[in-house]
Amino acid sequence: MSLDTIKCPNCGYMYQMDLGEYKQNLETIVTRGIFGKDKSKLESSNLIDLKCPNSACGKSFEWKVE
């Protein structure tokens, strides 16, 4: 488990989460939802959608996974 530091581009709020595990769980959910369609697009994408946990902001943004 490695934590990545994320900074919300909207409000500047900084927090940490395990992006590798998050991306893996997200790909599993999406793959189940599309029932065997081309998964290569999901694996090659380095951008994930996140939502700011700051209650004053709460906006969604894209974050690049390295």
The residue that leads in pLDDT, 30 or 62, is: 62
Q: What whole-number percentage of the chain has pLDDT above 90?
A: 36
pLDDT digit string, tens, across residues 11-39: 999 999 998 888 777 766 655 555 555 55
Helix (H) or strand (E) holding 25: helix 19-34
Q: Give the chain's mean pLDDT.
A: 78
More confident residue, 45 or 25: 25
- The predicted model gives 34-56 an average pLDDT of 70
- At residue 49, the pLDDT reads 87
Residue 4 to residue 17: CA distance in whole angstroms:
6
